[in-house]
Structure 1
Amino acid sequence: MQTLASITVLLLIAALIHEGAAIWCYRCTSATPGCAEKFNWRGIGFLGEQCPESDDICVKLTERRGTQETITRDCLSALKFRRDIPADKYEGCRPASQDLILANYVNHTIKEHDVKRDYFTDTTYCFCFLDHRCNGVSGLKSSLLASVAALLLVIFSTFQSN
């Protein structure tokens, strides 16, 4: 029993230590077949790409205006040019932040440029970093590590009850 517990602890530690290995994320937009709300990784033809930074986060960005919806799945480092990224980037979904000075000094009447970035009425960021390719599902899936830990907890509880 003691050896099983020590092996389990060593496996959990080995799963947590992966410094230098960047996360893999799906990188596509809803204009790509299979990358819309009903995600189909076979439709986009690849299993994701490794993010450029070692501490990157996978992001699913959903922008809506009426019935029009645009979904972007990417690494957070690729979206750094946006000024409406929420400050809280922990796992979960949250609305975009407001940038009050965005395009404050632009003075032209071409509304197609959308310099104030106000075309979409609802913008939501979903962040995940506990699983590779976690930005593929419509909601955020639970961590594989948490699932393994729950399974090990069930196994330990059955061994201790016997």
Structure 2
Amino acid sequence: MFKYFFVVFCLSLFIRQGLALWCYECVSTQPGCGTQFNWLFHWTKICPETDDVCVKIIEQRSDETIITRSCLSSLRAIRTDIPADHYEGCRPAAKDVHLANYVNNSIKELDIYRNYYDKTTWCFCFLDNWCNSSPSSNAHVYLIIGTSLISLVYMF
């Protein structure tokens, strides 16, 4: 009886959120979120909009690299350098000439002009859940599918 409940529970999770896109949300200053991504440390976020896209932003300055992972709808309010093309793949950040034009700021450490990083790359993906991780970290997807299949085999 317990295995039937477990199978129904697993299937209800997939059916309830089946049309939503799941993305990782973290910054590379957090453990396990750098170039070597570790999915054990980070939970996924269900993107709020139906036409949302997973985003990975790579900002580089000499040997310093900051990677930000999130949904595009979460970044629209705070980033003005989003490229116009949101299809699969990576592209450089857009130039925003009107950014910080009318700001009189005496604090030099604030990056109001967004010129601290030499190179900013936006990577978009929407065809697969958890796609804004590193390419080799999809083992958890196979683990979920494998346990679901094993529970279905034991059910019949």
TM-score, structure 1 length as denominator? Answer: 0.69
User: How many angstroms apart in 2 are the aligned matches of 1:119 and 1:93?
Assistant: 20
Q: Which residue is equivalent to 2:63? A: 67
User: C-alpha deviations, 1:94-137, integer Å up to 9, x for none?
Assistant: 00000011111112332111111111111000000000000012
3-state SS in 1 of match to 2:65? strand
User: How many angstroms apart in 2 are the aligned matches of 1:45 and 1:74?
Assistant: 12
Relative contact order, higher structure (CA 8 A, sep 6+): 2
Kindly indicate whether residue 90 of structure 2 is the aligned counterpart of residue 97 of structure 1: no
User: What amino acid maps onto 1:31 in structure 2?
Assistant: T
2:121 to 121, 124, 128: 124
User: C-alpha deviations, 1:62-100, integer Å up to 9, x for none?
Assistant: 111111111000000000021100000100000000001
Kindly indicate whether residue 109 of structure 2 is the aligned counterpart of residue 112 of structure 1: yes
Q: Which residue is equivalent to 1:40? A: 38
Kindly indicate whether residue 52 of structure 2 is the aligned counterpart of residue 56 of structure 1: yes
User: What amino acid maps onto 2:95 in structure 1?
Assistant: Q
Distance 1:40 1:19, change over 3 A: closer
Q: Which residue is equivalent to 2:152? A: none
**For structure 1, which runs of at least 5 residues remain unmatched after alignment?**
1-17, 142-162
Normalized per residue, the structure richer in helix is: 1
**For structure 2, which runs of at least 5 residues remain unmatched after alignment?**
1-15, 139-156
Distance 1:45 1:110, change over 3 A: closer
- Number of aligned residues: 121
User: How many angstroms apart in 2 are the aligned matches of 1:68 and 1:115?
Assistant: 19
**Matched-pair identity in %:** 55
Question: Structure 2 matches for 1:10-29, cutoff 5 A?
Answer: 21-29=19-27
Aligned-pair Cα RMSD in Å? 2.1
Runs of 4+ in 1 over 3 A off after TM superposition: none
Q: Which residue is equivalent to 1:150? A: none
User: How many angstroms apart in 1 are the aligned matches of 2:135 and 2:103?
Assistant: 36
Q: Is the 8 A contact 1:64 1:122 kept in 2?
A: yes
User: How many angstroms apart in 1 are the aligned matches of 2:124 and 2:110?
Assistant: 28
Q: Is the 8 A contact 1:29 1:36 kept in 2?
A: yes
Q: Is the 8 A contact 1:64 1:120 kept in 2?
A: yes
User: What amino acid maps onto 1:102 in structure 2?
Assistant: L
TM-score, structure 2 length as denominator? Answer: 0.72
